[in-house]
Amino acid sequence: MKKLLLIIFIILFALSKPILSDENDIYKKIDLFSEVLDKINKEYVDEVNQSDAMDAAINGVLQSLDPYSAYMSPDSFKNMQTETSGEFGGLGIEVSMEAGVVKVISPIDNSPAEEVGVKAGDYIVKIDDIQVQGKTLSEAVELMRGPVGSDIEITVRRRGERKALIFTITREVIQVASVKSEIKDDKTAYIRLTSFNENSSKQIKNKIKEFKKNKEIKNYILDLRNNPGGLLSQAIKISDYFLENGEIVSTKSKRKYENRKWFAKKGDIINGETMVILINYGSASASEIVAGALQDHKRAILVGESTYGKGSVQSIIPLDNEGAIRLTVSKYFLPSGKSISRVGVNPDIVIAESSDEFRINTDTDNQLEYALKLLNG
């Protein structure tokens, strides 16, 4: 127990030092924390698993910083490391933790969650009969995992809806196809990017090469809706494809020598052809970098709804106990100097989803329909 307390004290000390000017205050807080734990251990009505309590305390410190910093127990860290890229079992949603409940960043295209109507921005408050409040993100994700073919019931709260919504979802193996494309209206190249993985930029480049063989194509649509992000390097490469010069993005960290800027190299892969980018609340992180950079350089018209506002970089830092912490280590800034954290990127033309039956790239997709009309005059 004492060893675990020492770990907590070290974390509290490290995180509190920049905030508390008087080190005596830090040690007073440590004493208070120790006293509270002692009272819980002696007086709480039920038996307390001290290891779980310490994990929760560590996680509480990290989650007080922002929604993306968190503690991973050895088991959770091991599960994260062994997940295969591009294929995994579950519901098909990208999630974060906010205000003690699980928030949906975006559902994956054609996933079980999307099929039943789960939307970006939904708050998952109950998984089967278990309340999410008080759970860590790792614990909540673990509850959503299960055998392929098994059912799970999730209860969500949605902005604008007075009553909770209940969805029954059948777990599946989730296949993630990063890039999809087709020709719309004979002269518009449509490229849908669902994530930024290590092959995304190469796939987009190859798709564009194929499109350029068709002399009828005059316009391009890059669809970043419900794209939760991914690799920064891929966001930079994809932005660079459509820019002749100028800054793409910068990151700022606590240590100034770690601050970085990335710039476009000469050469626009589509030679200045008209371009629309589709965005929504499910567009986050790397998606916001691409959309924001091209908007700042007036290279593309943004259509849809404001993005998520995840403008920060997390590092996975292993710990001696074989667990790890996910810690925010820097923030993104667009060429204009604007931070997208908690603000997002606003579209040039606001087009809200038309109905609850809305599905991306179907007959119900009024945002895509508007983009095509805009490009075709």
User: Catalytic positions, please?
Assistant: 285, 296, 310
As beta bridge partners, residue 324 has: 72, 318
Cβ neighbours of 324 (radius 10 Å): 21
CA-CA distances (angstroms) from residue 343 to 21, 122, 304?
30, 17, 16
Name residues whose C-beta falls within 8 Å of residue 200's C-beta, 6 or more positions apart in sequence.
Answer: 178, 179, 193, 230, 231, 234, 238
Cα 251 to the center of its chain, rounded Å: 17
327, 315 in Cβ contact below 8 A?
A: yes
Helices (H), 44-108: 50-63, 74-82
**Count of residues in the chain:** 377
Name residues whose C-beta falls within 8 Å of residue 299's C-beta, 6 or more positions apart in sequence.
Answer: 242, 243, 275
| Amino acid occupying residue 324 | A
